[in-house]
Amino acid sequence: MKKRSIGLMIVFTIITIGIYAIYWLVKFQMELKQETGEGFGGLAHFLMLIFTFGIYAIYWQYAAGKRLHKLGAEDYSVIYLVLAFFASFVNPFLMQHQANKL
Protein backbone atom coordinates (compact mmCIF):
# COMPACT_ATOMS: atom_id res chain seq x y z
CA MET A 1 0.00 0.00 0.00
CA LYS A 2 1.28 3.44 -0.86
CA LYS A 3 2.20 5.66 2.07
CA ARG A 4 0.56 9.08 2.00
CA SER A 5 0.88 12.04 4.33
CA ILE A 6 -2.33 12.57 6.31
CA GLY A 7 -1.64 16.30 6.51
CA LEU A 8 -1.27 16.60 2.74
CA MET A 9 -4.42 14.54 2.26
CA ILE A 10 -6.34 17.08 4.38
CA VAL A 11 -4.82 20.03 2.52
CA PHE A 12 -5.49 18.53 -0.93
CA THR A 13 -9.07 17.64 0.04
CA ILE A 14 -9.73 21.21 1.17
CA ILE A 15 -8.00 22.85 -1.80
CA THR A 16 -9.79 20.66 -4.37
CA ILE A 17 -13.15 20.96 -2.57
CA GLY A 18 -13.37 17.19 -2.08
CA ILE A 19 -12.23 16.02 -5.50
CA TYR A 20 -9.02 14.61 -4.02
CA ALA A 21 -11.13 12.53 -1.63
CA ILE A 22 -12.82 10.87 -4.60
CA TYR A 23 -9.45 10.27 -6.25
CA TRP A 24 -8.15 8.80 -2.98
CA LEU A 25 -11.17 6.46 -2.69
CA VAL A 26 -10.56 5.02 -6.14
CA LYS A 27 -6.77 4.68 -5.70
CA PHE A 28 -7.08 3.19 -2.21
CA GLN A 29 -9.63 0.63 -3.41
CA MET A 30 -7.36 -0.28 -6.32
CA GLU A 31 -4.51 -0.85 -3.86
CA LEU A 32 -6.74 -2.92 -1.55
CA LYS A 33 -7.92 -4.98 -4.52
CA GLN A 34 -4.33 -5.58 -5.60
CA GLU A 35 -3.24 -6.62 -2.09
CA THR A 36 -6.26 -8.74 -1.06
CA GLY A 37 -7.93 -9.68 -4.35
CA GLU A 38 -11.31 -8.70 -2.88
CA GLY A 39 -13.83 -6.13 -4.00
CA PHE A 40 -14.28 -4.13 -7.17
CA GLY A 41 -11.54 -2.46 -9.19
CA GLY A 42 -11.18 1.31 -9.20
CA LEU A 43 -13.69 2.24 -11.91
CA ALA A 44 -16.28 -0.32 -10.83
CA HIS A 45 -15.90 0.89 -7.25
CA PHE A 46 -16.55 4.48 -8.33
CA LEU A 47 -19.58 3.46 -10.41
CA MET A 48 -21.04 1.50 -7.47
CA LEU A 49 -20.73 4.61 -5.31
CA ILE A 50 -22.65 6.61 -7.92
CA PHE A 51 -25.33 4.04 -8.80
CA THR A 52 -26.20 3.28 -5.17
CA PHE A 53 -26.29 6.97 -4.25
CA GLY A 54 -23.56 6.46 -1.66
CA ILE A 55 -25.14 3.51 0.16
CA TYR A 56 -22.34 1.28 -1.11
CA ALA A 57 -19.88 3.67 0.59
CA ILE A 58 -21.21 2.64 4.01
CA TYR A 59 -20.61 -1.03 3.26
CA TRP A 60 -17.26 -0.30 1.64
CA GLN A 61 -15.92 1.50 4.69
CA TYR A 62 -16.72 -1.53 6.83
CA ALA A 63 -15.29 -3.96 4.25
CA ALA A 64 -12.13 -1.86 3.83
CA GLY A 65 -11.57 -2.13 7.57
CA LYS A 66 -11.84 -5.92 7.32
CA ARG A 67 -9.46 -5.99 4.35
CA LEU A 68 -6.92 -3.84 6.18
CA HIS A 69 -7.20 -6.23 9.13
CA LYS A 70 -6.38 -9.15 6.81
CA LEU A 71 -3.24 -7.30 5.77
CA GLY A 72 -2.12 -6.97 9.40
CA ALA A 73 -3.71 -3.75 10.67
CA GLU A 74 -5.99 -3.55 13.68
CA ASP A 75 -9.68 -4.30 13.03
CA TYR A 76 -11.39 -0.89 12.97
CA SER A 77 -14.22 -2.04 10.71
CA VAL A 78 -16.96 -1.40 13.29
CA ILE A 79 -15.50 2.03 14.05
CA TYR A 80 -15.55 2.81 10.32
CA LEU A 81 -19.16 1.65 10.12
CA VAL A 82 -20.27 3.88 13.02
CA LEU A 83 -18.31 6.85 11.68
CA ALA A 84 -19.88 6.29 8.23
CA PHE A 85 -23.17 7.49 9.72
CA PHE A 86 -21.90 10.37 11.85
CA ALA A 87 -18.51 11.58 10.58
CA SER A 88 -17.60 9.70 7.41
CA PHE A 89 -15.11 12.39 6.38
CA VAL A 90 -12.76 11.06 9.08
CA ASN A 91 -12.60 7.49 7.75
CA PRO A 92 -10.23 8.06 4.80
CA PHE A 93 -7.65 9.58 7.12
CA LEU A 94 -7.96 6.72 9.61
CA MET A 95 -7.74 4.14 6.81
CA GLN A 96 -4.67 5.79 5.33
CA HIS A 97 -3.10 5.97 8.79
CA GLN A 98 -3.59 2.22 9.17
CA ALA A 99 -2.25 1.57 5.66
CA ASN A 100 0.83 3.69 6.41
CA LYS A 101 1.59 1.42 9.38
CA LEU A 102 1.64 -1.71 7.19
Identify the domain containing residue 33 by its residue range: 6-101
Over residues 56-81, the pLDDT tens digits come to 999 999 999 999 999 999 999 999 99
What pLDDT is stored for residue 47 in this prediction?
Answer: 92
Number of domains in the chain: 1
Specify if 78 maps to a domain. yes
Specify if 1 maps to a domain. no
Q: Say what percent of the chain tops pLDDT 70.
A: 100
- What CA–CA distance (Å, rounded) separates 65 from 28? 12
Specify if 95 maps to a domain. yes
- What CA–CA distance (Å, rounded) separates 26 from 20? 10
What pLDDT is stored for residue 2 in this prediction?
Answer: 92
Specify if 96 maps to a domain. yes
Kindly write down the DSSP assignment for every residue of the chain, as one continuous string.
-----HHHHHHHHHHTTTHHHHHHHHHHHHHHHHHH--S--HHHHHHHHHHTTTHHHHHHHHHHHHHHHHTTS---HHHHHHHHHH-GGGHHHHHHHHHHH-
The model's pTM is: 0.89
